[in-house]
Structure 1
Amino acid sequence: MKTLLHINTSLFSDKGQSSALAARYVERWQAANPGGRVIERNLAEHPVAHLGAERFQAFLADAADLTPTQRLALAESDTFIEELRAADAVVIGLPMYNFGVPSVFKAWIDHVARVGVTFRYTANGPEGLLDDRKVMVFAARGGIYLGTPRDTQTDYVTHVLNFIGLRDIEFVYAEGLAMGEDIQRQALEQAHSTIDALAA
């Protein structure tokens, strides 16, 4: 049975444009994999706590030294990592906020990028410890940034996922969504066409 991890990061939950694009892909994936399982991780409805000193120490300390709060933080991190490991493919709905990724997505990254668990340092540099799998990123943006210095998302997401071992990454962009109805319609039509082709 195939498993798909579906991560939404929009503050608008399922009503965000990036969420709608991701949902379109998930719907078509389910049609092509009727026995498949979808793991839903909605970071708007269930936000991840941002990494503070106590929470970070939970990832480094011996189990016997953990406080009750740290044990909960470690269990949450373990859950996110196990969801990644269980998935044959990953879908991420990713809006752009202030030229970056949503803070809840950065918090999720901070919980899955764990030394000794999803990556390690070697004499030849860092090595990702997760087995590679397909990652689809559906990036919705109010302006047009692809190929410009203001697109901080593409490189960041690529680098951080590569760092933990995920290298098969594909982006689908819908840009200019706040630049008028015609540009929005054309951008969404193009993204929908790409999604349908990818899921076919």
Structure 2
Amino acid sequence: MNTQATTLLHLDASARAGRSDVHAHGSHTRRLSARFVTRWRAARTHDPVHYRDLGQCPPSPVDGQWIHAAFTPEAARMPWMRQRLSESDALVDELVNADLIVAGVPMYNFGVPSGFKAYIDNIVRVGRTFGFDRARQGEPYWPLLAERPRTLVLLGSRGDFGYGPGERIAAMNHVEPAVRTAFGYIGITDVRSIAVEYDEFGGERLAASLQEAEAAVDALVDALLDKRADAASPRVATA
């Protein structure tokens, strides 16, 4: 029997504080991310979940002092530099410890919310999540979080429709591509995405999109649980 825990990092980035299945004018992404984590925890009650609300409590944006501190070697950092990087250190530590990242990230003006962009800027960090050596042959940059598998589940919402690959306005979608690029750069390449559309239309189309997204969330949870169970099952050698 497998007893190894899977550590979940649950992120919400919506500016809306409530969930659309509970509160009027609530967030669809909070609704989906909560559904995912609740379903996962129903199957694996002992798996730890760390929650961070990037919409209500966004990280501090990167500034000149942050950059100066981050690019100063650890041993040479002054106290103010360590203090300036303390929030980033906490965010990186959470990410490093996670096996499964569940992120509710709505589309705002074709991109990610400012709080989630600040999060990305704080976790894509030289010496912590990616390496850099200008003298290194071939590729001077390399990911530092590729040492073990991690999965990112990206749960989104969009006002319009047709943002998926090959659809009518796919070129205007700067959410999934940007997030995949940033997380892939640091070594997290297994990214699964589900999104609600028609938010600004409302009515039956939105209701149908929500129903479809919730079914996709349930199916994804079940698939990831099955994958985890298969990976943990002992292999029996055959002659």
TM-score, normalising length from structure 1? 0.93
Amino acid at match of 1:9: A
Amino acid at match of 2:62: L
Report what 1:31 is aligned to: 42
Choose from 115, 119, 139 the match for 2:126: 115
In structure 2, do the counterparts of structure 1 residues 124 and 14 end up closer, same or farther at CA, with 3 Å as the change threshold?
A: farther
- Within the alignment, does 1:124 sit opposite 2:138 as a pair? yes
Question: Going by fraction, where is strand more abundant, 1 or 2?
Answer: 1
1:43-192 map, 5 Å:
43-63=54-74, 64-68=76-80, 70-121=81-132, 122-125=136-139, 126-131=141-146, 132-144=149-161, 145-147=163-165, 148-192=170-214
Amino acid at match of 1:128: P
Q: Which has the higher contact order (CA 8 A, sep 6+)?
A: 1
Contact 2:158–2:196 under 8 Å retained in 1: yes
Corresponding pairs, count: 199
Contact 1:100–1:152 under 8 Å retained in 2: yes
Q: Using the alignment, how far apart are the partners of 2:205 and 2:181 within structure 1?
A: 30
Contact 2:65–2:84 under 8 Å retained in 1: no
Q: CA RMSD in A?
A: 1.5
Secondary structure of 2:198's match?
Answer: coil
Give the unaligned 5+ runs of structure 2.
Answer: 20-26, 223-239
How big is each residue's C-alpha offset from its partner over 1:123-163, in whole Å with a ceiling of 9 and x where there is no partner?
A: 33232111331110001111112231111112111111100
Contact 1:94–1:139 under 8 Å retained in 2: yes
Report the Cα offset of residue 65 of structure 1: 4.1
How big is each residue's C-alpha offset from its partner over 1:23-56, in whole Å with a ceiling of 9 and x where there is no partner?
A: 1001001111111110001012321111110122
Report the Cα offset of residue 190 of structure 1: 0.3
- Does 8-17 or 164-173 show the bigger shift? 8-17
In structure 2, do the counterparts of structure 1 residues 165 and 65 end up closer, same or farther at CA, with 3 Å as the change threshold?
A: closer
Q: Using the alignment, how far apart are the partners of 1:103 and 1:135 within structure 2?
A: 19
Identity percentage of aligned residues? 33
Choose from 10, 13, 37 the match for 1:9: 13
- Does 155-164 or 54-63 show the bigger shift? 54-63
Report the Cα offset of residue 109 of structure 1: 0.6
Q: Using the alignment, how far apart are the partners of 1:7 and 1:58 within structure 2?
A: 26
Report the Cα offset of residue 13 of structure 1: 3.1
Which structure: larger Rg?
2
